[in-house]
Chains A and B, each alone.
Chain A
C-alpha cells in the first residue's frame, strides 16, 4: 500500500491507519492530508490509530506535526482509538503529544471535532476563523 486513504465525511477528513507504518508512508500522509484539506476545505481531521500496535517517537512526531499543520491551515485534529498498551508505552518513552487532542473512539472524536469547529465559528474565511 502506497498511500493511507483519506475519506471526506461531511466537513471532516477521516484517516484510519490500518497498516504497519513504515517511515515513508508516515511522511506521505502529512503531504496528502495538507493537500486534501485545502482541496476539500474540510474543517477538521480525525485520525484513527486503533490498528497501530506501537507509536514510537517518529510516529509520535508525525502525529504532532499533522496537528500543527492542520491548526495553521485553520482545521482541528483529533486522534482516536489509542490502545491502552500504546498509551502506557509512550508515557514511559517520554512522548507527551501535548499539542494533540485525543478522544476514546471515532464517535467521541467526531463529537469533539464538532464542538471545536463550532466554538471557532463558521462564518468568514478560513483565515478569519483561525484569528478568532
Chain B
C-alpha cells in the first residue's frame, strides 16, 4: 500500500473543524466516491474532529490518499496529546459521554459505523489517535 499524497491540518477550534470537513469532502470528490460515501466520511470526520477539539484539547488531522493494488482509499488520522481515553470499549458505546457532552454521545461509535476501517489507540495521560479509512 502506498500513500499517494498527504496533508496535515491543525484542529483546535470549530473553524478548524469546518476546514477539515471541507478538505475531506474535496479529497473524496477528487477520488470520485459516491455522494453517500462522501457524506458518511465527512460526518465521521466531523464527529471525531469535534471529540478532539472538545475533549482532547485539540490536535491535528492528517489526510492521506492511498493506493492499495487496484483500490483507492482516503484515510484520515486524528491525533491529540490530550487526556486520553481510559476505557475505549465504554467510549465506543452509544450514549456514553463524559460530563456535559455537546452531542449525543454518538461520536466514536457512530463514526465507527459510518466508515470501512476504524482504528483507535489511546493512552491515558498521553493522547488519542483515531484512524478512519474509506475504500473504493
Contacts and interface: CB of A to CB of B under 8 A. Distances in A.
Interface of A: 20, 22-24, 53-58, 60-61, 83-86, 88-90, 92-95
For A56, A83, A90, A95, the residue with the greatest tally of chain B CB atoms inside 10 Å of its CB is: A56
B51 to A, nearest CB: 10
A23 B46 contact: no
A93 B106 contact: yes
A61 B14 contact: no
Nearest to B13: A22
B42 A54 contact: yes
- Classify the interface of chain B: helix, strand, loop or mixed: helix
A53 B17 contact: no
Interface residues of B, number: 29
A83 B104 CA distance: 21
A92 B113 contact: yes
A85 B102 CA distance: 24
A88 B116 CA distance: 16
Nearest to B46: A56
B38 interface: yes
B91 to A, nearest CB: 14
A86 B110 contact: no
Nearest to B22: A20
A95 B44 CA distance: 13
Contacts of B94: 94
B59 interface: no
8 contacts: A20-B18, A20-B22, A22-B18, A58-B102, A60-B103, A89-B40, A89-B114, A90-B43
B58 interface: no
Nearest to A58: B103
Contact of A92 (B15, B17, B114): B114
Given A56-B46, A57-B47, A93 B18 contact: no
